[in-house]
A = this chain, B = another copy of it.
Amino acid sequence: MPKIVDHGARRDLIARAFAAHVAELGFSATTYARTAAATGYSVGTIQHYFGSRDELAQAAFDRLLADRDARISDVVAAGEAEEQPIRAILRRAVTELLPMDEARRREHRVTLWLRVEGQHDPTLARIASGSDADLHRRVAQAVVNGTRCGEVEPRVDPAVAASMVLATVHGLALELASGGGPAAEEVLDPVLATVFTGRCRHHDV
């Protein structure tokens, strides 16, 4: 019987190994050879899946952001299932972006590399800005939902509110990453409170 190879799973494994090395060693020090050593595959096998280091790097960043998005979606789905207020769900969702444990610290380091490499690489810049735009769209949608249920005043501009919330989250992430900053909620809560000023009507019934 021929061996059944799950090529998608292999690609993910290799992409995640590359990202893990970026988190640990930095982008420039992360090579095909190191990635191969970590996965147990030969350099040739890795080249079979990713024709160039650029292609592998793009896949690694894509994979990491997709994993992060999936985690955020899980948090949102759980909050909705528990019928939490939108503000509480959003707070839990954006907290996933903060480097508050080792896994999220590593993830944040990789996203910072994506940003900085994107300054000089248009493809990586597109990955970074695509992810930013997607986050922004999701937070703006939460604000729209908040307007509908009464947690947010109708005069609030969802795009501006989303930019404000995400600016605070991204900046707080930088503060936490460099080992400083106060408790996250002390920074996050007053900013969320400027947007979410009301109470969801669904919770009054």
Contacts and interface: CB of A to CB of B under 8 A. Distances in A.
Contacts of A125: 178
Interface extent on A, as a size class? 35 or more
A178 B193 CA distance: 27
A167 B160 contact: no
A129 interface: yes
Interface stretch (A53-61, A77-85, A144-152, A179-187): A179-187
Nearest to A121: B26
Q: Count chain B CB atoms within 10 A of each CB in A116, A157, A173 and give the residue with the most.
A: A116
A168 B168 CA distance: 4
Interface in A107-122: 109, 112-113, 115-120
B170 A166 contact: no
Instruction: Count copies of this chain in the complex.
Output: 2
A128 interface: yes
B115 A180 contact: no
A116 B118 contact: no
Contacts of A167: 167-172, 174-175, 181, 187
Contacts of A132: 175, 178, 180
A132 B190 CA distance: 21
A159 to B, nearest CB: 6
Interface of A: 25-26, 28-29, 109, 112-113, 115-120, 125, 128-129, 132-133, 136, 157, 159-160, 163-164, 166-175, 177-182, 186-187, 190-191, 193-194
What 6 pairs across the A-B complex have the smallest Cβ distances? A171-B171, A167-B171, A170-B171, A167-B172, A28-B28, A116-B116
